[in-house]
């Protein structure tokens, strides 16, 4: 979704240091 406040929560598991909170 484009107009979501917390867009990164909906992206599932991503690789990268910036998105380490998603992959716990």
Give the pLDDT confidence score for residue 16 in this predicted structure: 63
Per-residue confidence in pLDDT tens, the chain, 24 aa: 566 666 666 566 666 666 665 554
- Give the Å distances, CA to CA, from 10 to 14, 19, 24: 11, 12, 15
CA–CA gap between residue 15 and residue 20 (Å, rounded): 7
Q: What is the pTM of this model?
A: 0.15
Give the pLDDT confidence score for residue 18 in this predicted structure: 65
- Give the Å distances, CA to CA, from 2 to 5, 10, 17, 23: 9, 11, 23, 22
Q: Residue 23 in contact with residue 13, Cβ under 8 Å?
A: yes
């Amino acid at each position: 979704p484009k107009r979501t406040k917390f867009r990164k929560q909906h992206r599932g598991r991503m690789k990268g240091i910036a998105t380490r909170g998603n992959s716990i």
